[in-house]
Structure 1
Amino acid sequence: MVIGVERIKLALVDHMIWIIILGVSIFFCYTIPNFLTFRNFLFTLYVVSPLGLLVFGEAVCLLGGNMDLSLSENAGFTAMIVGVILVDWVTWLPGWTGIILMPLVGAGLGAVNGFFVGKVKINPFLVTLSTFLIFNWMTYYLRRGAIVRMPGALLIPGGGRIGGIFIAIPILIGMAIFLYFILDHTRFGSHIRAIGGNSKAANMLGINVGNTHFWIFTIAGALAGGAGLLYTGYLKCIPSTIAEGDIFLAFAGAIIGGVSLQGGRGSAIGALGGVILMGIIDAGCTMTAMDPALRGVLNGLILLAAILINKTRASLRDRVLMPK
């Protein structure tokens, strides 16, 4: 049994993300005047809200022992197909229908991944790599440029405000709380963790592994569709490059936030911490006018750091739990 000092050590290991956030914030506060004001913090949360939903989607997949390489392209293709439907194909549809359609379309695309992984039993890396390419090229096929003229209602979730607060911020925080409840306080959440920890043992316990995998990818797809909606409102348009490449940041945010690459371990609140850290780093780079090429290098370093942190966290946890 882990008691006393060991319990404190274990808590520090499991909540390492908040220590990292504190350290990075202190660094930027020291190097950049007026960095961590309340106004800047709110705007930082707003900027990373679309990425945050991708992080949550990836976190759900990783918890179940999977990965989804196609989430960012799902978000982009979902935004583009719904935009084309409203602007070019079915112009009489009211703009608010797009708010409903994007998560539904995203869920449908995620269900395709879930079918091949959960029912056909194909490796999730190969399945989602394939759909990554399909969604990416379908986005370009639909529109080479950007959709600029869109119904105003479609921009509200990602760009609207209530009382001076961007609507995307409570969406991000509310989704983190909702996922925390699902993952930590429902049977379905315990099934996800059990499968991520040991799918064979979970199957022996009577858990329908294939069906759970299907719903994991469907939920992740719905979150990607929601991310596409927030990207649309944030950008005020739908370019063909929308969300392109953000899957790597989504991976980094989830892993830094404490979601294990080995599956079964992590939390939605920790993933939210990963989102906040990504936002703070992005804000620091913006305020220092970092060269875009260097920011690309930094993103690669962040992903590498996330993998190292995951390895270090697992090692520290094993050391704490090791019998004396």
Structure 2
Amino acid sequence: MDKPKSDGQLTAKSTNLPALFKNQSFFLLIVIILLSVIFGSMNPRFLTWGNLLAVFQQITVLGIATMAMALLLISGGIDLSIGSMIGLSSVVICTLIMRGSNVGLAILIGFGIPVICGFINGVIVSKSKCVPLIVTLGMNYVYYGLALVISQGLFLSMKGNFQFLGRGRILGVPMPMIIVIVMVFATHFLLTYTKYGRRLVAMGGNEQLAYLSGINVDRLKIMNYTLSGAIIGLASLVLVSRLGNVLANAGEGYELRALAAAIIGGVTFEGGRGTIAGTFLGVILLGIVQNGLNILNVSSYFQTLAVGVIIVVAVVVSNLEKIRNR
């Protein structure tokens, strides 16, 4: 006669059984597949290779920017100025080229500007002990104002220079796609397999405990904001190379979309939680929704509504376990 199972055994079994279904990345993958099937059935053009390639090309800059946002969120920070950093970098690059500067030098300076901006953000956040959301929101206006002053609100052009990064191909694969894929794997490796990444997760999980364990929290914050600035610098180069012509608001909205993609992917405001794989799936989901609704000729107003609903649902799903434990 079989012995009755103890409560502990039942709990362990019930915990292990639905483990896959508690994985937000798994749910995102299912949602992406379902949406692809739905959009494809409504319009056969959606599932064509050309359109799917277009989706990936459209999300490249967002994908790179989201890697920076994910690193900050997981470490307990946030940066709402990344859109203006992209705009400022793009404006500086175009301005220098239009004034006859060396293209390579202009690109180097343009890449360095978000790095400096990230460093400044990190210093202010770490030393002032102010809320990162408020600090970076203010810096967002500072960087946007600088971009407006430099550009005078005018369209600026690359004059046909530096197109390879945004429009080139290697073995038929668009260069922006290669860059974003490399960035995803590099960020995943950094966060998962390096001491630096483990310290970021520890700081995001409990900053006070991380400090007591010997981590120089202020220095780590500054390093992380600076690294995120470097990633944003790369996103700026891809964007300006692809567009060729920019305004001061070239990066407008990227901060909120990157934040949305990261949250959809399972990263939380609390810090210490989230994966790069889930984050990238969040980027893909946003790209599929936008592209699918465009193909179906849905109004941009409803597209905005759809993205908002997706974000709210994703946040609720990611907090279901916390709600159950109350």
Q: TM-score, normalised by structure 2?
A: 0.89
Q: Deviations over 1:183-235 (max 9, x none)?
A: 00011101111111111111111111111111121122112221111111222
In the TM superposition, 1:302-313 aligns within 5 A as 302-313=307-318
Structure 1: how far apart are the matches of 2:29 and 2:14? 19
| Pairing 1:13–2:18 present | no
The change in CA–CA distance for 1:27 and 1:317 in structure 2 (over 3 A counts) is: farther
Partner amino acid, structure 2, of 1:116 = I
Per-residue deviation, 1:126:
1.6
The change in CA–CA distance for 1:149 and 1:98 in structure 2 (over 3 A counts) is: closer
Structure 2: how far apart are the matches of 1:241 and 1:189? 32
Q: Structure 1 residues 3-12 or 219-228, which shifts more?
A: 3-12
For the 8 Å contact 1:108–1:218, the answer to whether it is kept is: yes
Structure 2: how far apart are the matches of 1:45 and 1:259? 22
Q: Of 243, 268, 275, which aligns to 1:267?
A: 275
Runs of at least 4 residues of structure 1 off by over 6 A? none
Partner amino acid, structure 1, of 2:251 = A
Structure 2: how far apart are the matches of 1:149 and 1:72? 20
In the TM superposition, 1:89-168 aligns within 5 A as 91-93=100-102, 95-143=103-151, 144-150=153-159, 152-153=161-162, 155-168=163-176
For the 8 Å contact 1:193–1:265, the answer to whether it is kept is: yes
Per-residue deviation, 1:139:
1.3
In the TM superposition, 1:12-51 aligns within 5 A as 12-14=21-23, 15=25, 16-51=27-62
Structure 2: how far apart are the matches of 1:161 and 1:8? 45
Q: Of 236, 240, 249, which aligns to 2:257?
A: 249
The change in CA–CA distance for 1:34 and 1:5 in structure 2 (over 3 A counts) is: farther
Residue matched to 1:315: 320
Structure 1: how far apart are the matches of 2:21 and 2:105? 45
Structure 2: how far apart are the matches of 1:137 and 1:36? 42
Q: How many residues align?
A: 313
Structure 1: how far apart are the matches of 2:235 and 2:47? 26
Percent same amino acid among aligned pairs?
26
Gaps of 5+ in 2: 1-7
Partner amino acid, structure 2, of 1:314 = N
Structure 1: how far apart are the matches of 2:158 and 2:235? 20
Q: Structure 1 residues 76-85 or 5-14, which shifts more?
A: 5-14
SS at match of 2:96: helix
For the 8 Å contact 1:110–1:219, the answer to whether it is kept is: yes
Partner amino acid, structure 2, of 1:78 = S
Q: Of 162, 177, 183, which aligns to 1:175?
A: 183
Residue matched to 1:278: 286
Q: Of 92, 108, 120, which aligns to 1:81?
A: 92
Q: Structure 1 residues 134-143 or 282-291, which shifts more?
A: 282-291
Per-residue deviation, 1:292:
3.2
Residue matched to 1:184: 192
For the 8 Å contact 2:62–2:283, the answer to whether it is kept is: yes
Q: RMSD of the TM alignment (CA)?
A: 2.1
Residue matched to 2:81: 70
The change in CA–CA distance for 1:160 and 1:285 in structure 2 (over 3 A counts) is: same
Q: TM-score, normalised by structure 1?
A: 0.89
Per-residue deviation, 1:42:
1.7
Per-residue deviation, 1:304:
4.8
